[in-house]
Every structure is written in C-alpha cells, then in structure tokens.
Amino acid sequence: MSDKANDALARIAIEDTQHWLLQAVVGLNLCPFAKSVVVKDMVRYRVCTSAEPDDVLTLLREELLYLAAADPYTLDTTLLIAPNALPDFLDFNDFLTACDDVLIELELEGVLQVADFHPRYQFGGTDEDDIENFTNRTPYPTLHLLREASIDKAVEAYPDASLIFERNMEVLNKLGHAGWEALGIQARLKA
C-alpha cells in the first residue's frame, strides 16, 4: 500500500474513532474522565495500518515510550487504532497478553496501562448482541494507553468509580440498540 493510501486509511480510522469518542464516550458520559482530556486536546491518535499483530506490538512499544516521556500536562492518553488487525475478538483478547508483556518489558507497569476496545467486544457471561458490550465497542480494534497517575487523580475526583460500570449499563439499556445505531458509530473501513 502506498504512503498516500496509508495516510488516507489512517485519517479515516482516526475520524471514525474521534466520532465514537465524542458520541459515545463523552456524549453518553461512559467515561466521566474523558471529556476534560478531549476538550483540552490531550489525546494522541496513532494508527497501525498493518494486518500483522507484530506490527501493532511494534507501534505499541513506540507509543508507550512516547507517552511515558511526554509532558503529562500536554498529552494524557493515546489511542492506538488497528483497523486491519485482529478482527476476531477472541484473537484480540488473546493478543492482550502480548501487550501486557510489552508493558512489563519496558518497565512501565504501574506507570502506564493498556485498556482495550474492539468492534465485537464481549464481556464474559454475556451474549454477543447484549447492549452492555457496547461500552467497549469501537469502530476498530483499539488499545487505549493511559497514565496510572491520571487514573489515580480521576478516582480521587470521582471516589465511587465502581458505580461507573453500573451507570453505563443503565444508560445503554435505556438507549437500546436503536439508540446506539442512531449515534452513527461505524467503521468506514473494512478489514
């Protein structure tokens, strides 16, 4: 694929992810800590256009180091988007072990963490189409790199963080599948 084609693919993946972030995460307040980071433009978007999981790990390594070295007052979090890799959720879920290994290898465990989102995300004990799964559904397989210090600060401001999950379930159950569809969250690129 040419550089121009890769750039176009990356641009679309970022736009789709930003739409998801604004409509679902911020718009539905699925993460009460996200709005301030988004409004302050402290989110970095990176795209791995390769279909190879090893290439995603290479970019993950680079981005973890980049985020760890960055000024936390200008960059708080990174979304690493992989529109062509790991379309099967179980494969993606297994891949997360390798992501954790990279975090440990770089000695960033306890400094940064990797959260995961996927278009076919499914919590254990749920059916594939259960609306609860949509709290973690994105247009593309995505790794969310975030600072442990930011999480600690957010939990201080929102001491009952355990209630966020319950609130999100209520929001999504009221919204339903039709309401989710109306948000227009979709992948324009197909793996």
Residues 76-103 have a mean pLDDT of 97
Domains in the chain, number: 1
Q: How far apart are CA 55 and CA 49, in angstroms?
A: 9
pLDDT at residue 159 is higher than 70 = no
Supply the pLDDT for residue 115: 96
Judge whether 138 lies within some domain.
yes
**Whether residue 154 has pLDDT greater than 90:** no
The C-alpha atoms of residue 76 and residue 134 are separated, in whole angstroms, by 24
Residue 8 has a pLDDT of 93
Q: Does residue 191 fall inside a structural domain?
A: no
Structural domain contains residue 113: yes
Which range marks the domain in which residue 78 is found? 3-182
Whether pLDDT at 83 is above 90: yes
Whether 84 maps to a domain, the answer reads: yes
Cα-based angle 8, 30, 120 (whole degrees, multiple of 5): 55
Can you tell me the mean pLDDT for 78-102? 97
Burial label, 68 (beta-carbon count in 10 A; 0-12, 13-18, 19+): middle
> Within a domain: residue 70?
yes
Mean pLDDT of 77-92: 97
In a domain, 188, yes or no: no
Task: Note whether 78 and 145 are within 8 A (CB).
Answer: yes
pLDDT of residue 189: 87
Band of pLDDT at residue 153, cut at 50, 70 and 90? confident
Average pLDDT over residues 21-30: 94
Strand-pairing partners, residue 46, are 80
Q: Provide, for the chain, the percentages of residues in helix, strand and coil under a 3-state DSSP scheme, each rounded to the nearest 5.
A: 55, 10, 35
H or E element at residue 43: strand 43-47
User: HSE (CB half, 13 Å, CA atoms) of 40?
Assistant: 12
Question: Above 70 in pLDDT, residue 45?
Answer: yes
Q: What is the DSSP code string of 59-96?
A: HHHHHHHHHHHS-TTT--EEEEE-TTS--SHHHHHHHH
Question: Do the bridges between strand 77-81 and strand 43-47 make them parallel or antiparallel, or are there none, so unpaired?
Answer: parallel
User: Which residues on neighbouring strands pair with residue 114, listed in sequence order?
Assistant: 145
